[in-house]
Amino acid sequence: MRPHQILIVGSGDVAAALESISVTLGWDPAVVTTHDETTSRLPEAESVVVLSHDEKVDGPALAGALTLGMPYIGAMGSRRTQARRRSWLLANGVSEELADSIRGPAGLDIAADTPAEIAVAIVAEIIACRRGAVGADALSARPGPIHLHATPGSTECPGDGRPRRKPQ
């Protein structure tokens, strides 16, 4: 049996942790950062996790994964980022039903804060989807803030302290 193929679209600490955990699980991760890399690697993937916040990369990556009918399509980011991606998908011919199938924010609700914890939450959700687990609480199902201890509207991810794009 070939190893599970996971396509990680984006870079940074969460991508590195997700790649490392995937290798530990015996999966075959591919980390890509450009539209061309994504397009070339997408057909061989079984799971896609979009970490990019680049509109030229994340929307087309999600649309491509949806078109291929991937069993797991996850996207990291705030609710505002999820709404922006959804709008892009709808404006580019993706049905509401397909757009709603994206797991965003990606991951099970384990109150993850650090990049490694976020990666664990995402991997746990992929495993749950692959195994048909019921009752696993997806982060996308939680109302309210994604990071429980973050100040609403803050521009930093609690785990890494790096500044993020200011809210508009």
Going residue by residue through the chain, which has 168 residues, state the pLDDT in tens, using 9 for 90 and above.
Answer: 889 999 999 999 999 999 999 999 999 999 999 999 999 999 999 999 999 888 899 999 999 999 999 999 999 998 899 999 999 999 999 999 999 999 999 999 988 999 999 999 999 999 999 988 766 666 666 566 666 566 666 555 555 454 444 444
CATH number at residue 42: 3.40.50.720
What's residue 26's pLDDT?
97
Residue 78 included in any domain: yes
Residue 42 included in any domain: yes
Residue 83 belongs to what domain range?
A: 5-141
Single-letter amino acid, residue 7: L
Residue 122 included in any domain: yes
Residue 80 included in any domain: yes
CA distance 7 to 59: 15
Residues in the chain: 168
Residue 163 included in any domain: no
What's residue 1's pLDDT?
82
Residue 98 included in any domain: yes
Residue 161 included in any domain: no
Q: How many structural domains compose the chain? A: 1
127: left (phi over 0), alpha (psi -120 to 50) or beta: alpha
